[in-house]
Amino acid sequence: MDYETPQFYRVMQYAARADRDVVEMVSGSPDWDPPEGVREGLREYADADASEFQYAPSRGLRGLRERIATRHGVDADRIVVTNGAGEANHLAMTGGLDRFDGDEILLADPVYPYYAGRANFRDAEATFVPVAEDGRLDPDAVRAAASSKTAVIVVNSPNNPTGAVYDAEAMAAFAAIAEANDALLLSDEVYERFDYTGRFAAALDLDSPNVVATNAFSKSMAITGFRVGYAVFPPTGELVERATTRHMLTNVSGSRPAQYAVERAMATTEPTYYEAARERLRSRIDRFCDALEAAGATYTRPDGGFYVLARFPDFPGTFENAERLIDDAGVAGMPGAAFGEARADWLRFSLTTPRVETAAERLVSYFG
């Protein structure tokens, strides 16, 4: 599997070129409006003094870092504001490989392809731990796979693509495994606002020197194009120092209009904004899972995030079948094969489209 060039675009382009109407359920870009504070922040910034158009501090605008620190109950010195969760994960993973012995990265299978791509690109050894039937990584399986060779263990909760959400007990187990093997637990919490169970547990609550949490406003504020994310490092120094240097030498600093708008939106966005997004998705999940049921599919109902994995009878999740589904049913999903082996027979559908109802009808009619 070539993870170095994530295959999302291949399927999206095929869908865009199709000779018929297609419901696009490939990309993970929210289809709803950002909070009004984002737009207001940009308008304000457009009229700002010229000095505000110059370099932000490398680790991010002070006010933004402080709001993030307050939200997570940590010291602002632990935070590096990054170019989205992408750079946050890059800094955390690379820092873990540099800091801890071993060159192995433990990843779930199915895996979000960018994690595996980064491991490949760094010539690290990626070891895949298959998730259990319910889509969750079993801590016992992670414990069995971890060893002194392990430098980084990656968990993502709520999970892309399985929809798994890890509770406090599971997160504590993952952190303990990292500590026992002198490794880093990288906890990617970018879908944190989309937990339908109330059981989501933040890795930072563990207060472990082996944990780095990454996050972004991309999904929560529906601004994947802004590239404002962050990593929260352990309080005692080396990881955050090294990440700060790498960030400075790679990017110098993040884009200031985007950081300014996010800072403004953090100050003004009401909890109802996030609740509304959650409710919208929950109702799409209900509708879509009903259709999967009617289509005779096996599926995992997500506890969080906005993806649904489904397996249709005699229709494995290959690129060929994804293309056939586009042409014959007018629904574009991501082949499970793009996420590894454990769900290679499945397809992933992103519920970030207002046309879930249409997609549901088409799938029932095609498979039902």
Q: Which residues bind a second copy (CB under 8 A)?
A: 4-6, 27, 29-34, 38-40, 42-43, 45-47, 50-56, 83-84, 86-87, 90, 114, 117-118, 121, 222-228, 245-246, 248-258, 261
Query: By C-beta, is 89 or 150 nearer to a second copy?
Result: 89
SS3 356: helix
Query: By C-beta, is 117 or 161 nearer to a second copy?
Result: 117
Query: By C-beta, is 4 or 328 nearer to a second copy?
Result: 4
Query: By C-beta, is 165 or 228 nearer to a second copy?
Result: 228
Residue 14 near residue 22 (C-beta atoms within 8 A): no
Query: By C-beta, is 204 or 356 nearer to a second copy?
Result: 356
- The minimum distance between CB 12 and a second copy, in angstroms, equals 11
Q: What is the DSSP string of 80-127?
A: EEESHHHHHHHHHHHHHHHHSSS-EEEEEES--HHHHHHHHHTTPEEE
Q: Write 41-45 long-range contacts (CB < 8 A, 24+).
A: 41/260, 41/261, 41/262, 41/263, 41/264, 41/265, 42/257, 42/260, 42/261, 44/260, 44/264, 45/256, 45/257, 45/260, 45/261
- The minimum distance between CB 81 and a second copy, in angstroms, equals 12
Query: By C-beta, is 199 or 246 nearer to a second copy?
Result: 246
- The minimum distance between CB 323 and a second copy, in angstroms, equals 21
How buried is 69 (Cβ within 10 angstroms: 0-12 exposed, 13-18 middle, 19+ buried)?
A: middle
- The minimum distance between CB 266 and a second copy, in angstroms, equals 16
Residue 77 DSSP label? G
- The minimum distance between CB 189 and a second copy, in angstroms, equals 17
How buried is 51 (Cβ within 10 angstroms: 0-12 exposed, 13-18 middle, 19+ buried)?
A: exposed
Tokens of 323: 């293309």
- The minimum distance between CB 215 and a second copy, in angstroms, equals 15
Query: By C-beta, is 114 or 166 nearer to a second copy?
Result: 114
Residue 348 near residue 28 (C-beta atoms within 8 A): no
**Residue 241 Ramachandran class (φ > 0 left, ψ -120 to 50 alpha, else beta):** alpha
- The minimum distance between CB 289 and a second copy, in angstroms, equals 25
CA distance 131 to 364: 28
